């Protein structure tokens, strides 16, 4: 778990994603999927260079998530495994 207390800047800065990568010993950001239900979550994922996925299970609607520029918008976090299986190495084209 990474919180804003663990990094110098919160979202939409990519610091939290990079700290999570460090803790998990992941070096290749192209193998990271950043999932969130807000526009700043999507922006943080894009700022990190990860595949940014917006999910509609939160309070943010499709139009606001789409405006943030995610690589994918999913109806639910339950759809993430199918997305990963469909493109296991890199989701971003």
- Cα–Cα dist 33/15, whole Å: 15
* Average pLDDT of every residue of the chain: 91
| Closest of 82, 83, 19 to residue 51, by C-alpha | 83
Question: What proportion of the chain, given as a percentage, has pLDDT over 90?
Answer: 82
pLDDT tens per residue across span 51-80: 999 999 988 999 999 999 999 999 999 999
Which of helix, strand or coil describes residue 52? strand
Instruction: Tell me phi and psi for residue 19, to 5 degrees.
Output: -65, -40
CATH homologous superfamily of 4-86: HAD superfamily/HAD-like (3.40.50.1000)
Domain ranges of the chain: 4-86
Measured distance CA(53)–CA(65) in Å, rounded: 9
pTM metric for this prediction: 0.87
pLDDT of residue 91: 46
Average pLDDT over residues 21-48: 95
What pLDDT does residue 86 have? 81
């Amino acid at each position: 778990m990474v919180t804003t207390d663990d990094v110098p800047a919160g979202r939409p800065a990519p610091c939290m994603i990079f700290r999570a990568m460090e803790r998990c010993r992941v070096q290749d950001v192209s193998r990271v999927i950043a999932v969130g239900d807000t526009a700043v979550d999507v922006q943080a994922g894009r700022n990190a260079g990860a595949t940014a996925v917006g999910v509609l299970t939160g309070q943010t609607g499709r139009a606001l998530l789409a405006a943030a520029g995610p690589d994918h918008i999913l109806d639910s976090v339950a759809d993430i495994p199918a997305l990963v299986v469909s493109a296991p190495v890199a989701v971003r084209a």
